[in-house]
Amino acid sequence: MSGARTSTLATLRGSIARLEQGAAHDLNKVSLGHTAADEVLQGGLALAAVHEVFAEGHQGATASGFIAGLAGRVSPRRPLIWVRQDFSEIETGALSMSGLCELGLDPRLLVTVRAQDTDAALRTAADALACDALGAVVLEVWGEARQLDLVASRKLTLAAQASGVTALLLRMAAEPRPSTAETRWIVRAAHSPPGSPWSAWGTPVFDAQLVRNRHGPVGRWIMEWKCDECLFSEPAAYSQPVAATPARRPHPAAAQGAFRRSA
């Protein structure tokens, strides 16, 4: 009897594995624009799925910018709902509509919702995912929220699959836990190339590490966000300025001798 059960379990596991492998090719995807990342993701970010973005250390603003870029790729012309826990606003500040506009998002298509706690944020996100008129739902949760467990992740995944709306989870001050997310990213800030003379800063550049990919390998890339084109790309190479040697600089030996005489 035990041999028959073992054989049945092996058959079921094989069937599930084949279904999951097939699902990787059946998913609708949107290209991120970054060639290497799109290749690893087998065409881009999967739609109607759950994706997680974790901020490392004090990188909340960086992770917010990265997930805004993902939302811009997933939902360029459809409404976006951003659900935030009240504590997130206390820790990282309010979302700037002008800042999101500079990143390429249309503030007219963005609705922000402030939730009192994690439970309220989860309920709001689940209700929003049931609306197929949306393009994406961002759920921002602060800290090690025990409510956001494997069961809650599975419910969000099923809701996203049923409606076709993509769920983007932004996790601040939290460690990754088991989930049903298609991808999981850890994001850090990277150096921006010098901007144009009339610009106060360079383009946003992210050190993005893909640590979970349900249907393929993982990787780590430097990804530059093109605000005008609303896509990620490989950063353009630029020459680093080198400081010129000061004119009439005294030789170190001469300077040291002068110091000794004065002593």
All structural domains of the chain: 26-229 (3.40.50.300)
Calculate mean pLDDT across residues 201-227.
94
pTM: 0.80
pLDDT of 131 over the 90 cut = yes
| Distance linking the first and last C-alpha atoms of the chain | 95
Q: How confident is the model at residue 246 (pLDDT cuts 50, 70, 90)?
A: very low
Task: Please give the pLDDT value at position 203.
Answer: 87
Helix (H, G, I), strand (E, B) or coil at 130: coil
List the Cα angle 198/202/206 in 5-degree steps.
165
Q: What is the mean pLDDT of the chain?
A: 85
Q: How confident is the model at residue 26 (pLDDT cuts 50, 70, 90)?
A: low
* Sequence-ordered alpha helix ranges (H) in the chain: 2-26, 35-40, 60-74, 86-92, 97-102, 118-129, 150-163, 252-262
The lowest-confidence range among 93-97, 98-102, 219-223, 241-245 is 241-245
Calculate mean pLDDT across residues 110-118.
95
Q: Is there a contact between 107 and 97 (Cβ–Cβ < 8 Å)?
A: yes
The DSSP secondary structure of 173-227, one letter per residue, reads S--------SEEEEEEE-PPPP--TT-SS---EEEEEEEEETTS--EEEEEEEET
Q: Give the separation between CA 142 and CA 156, rounded to whole angstroms.
A: 18
Tokens of 37: 């990342």
Q: Give the separation between CA 18 and CA 13, rounded to whole angstroms.
A: 9
Top pLDDT among 58 and 166 is at 166
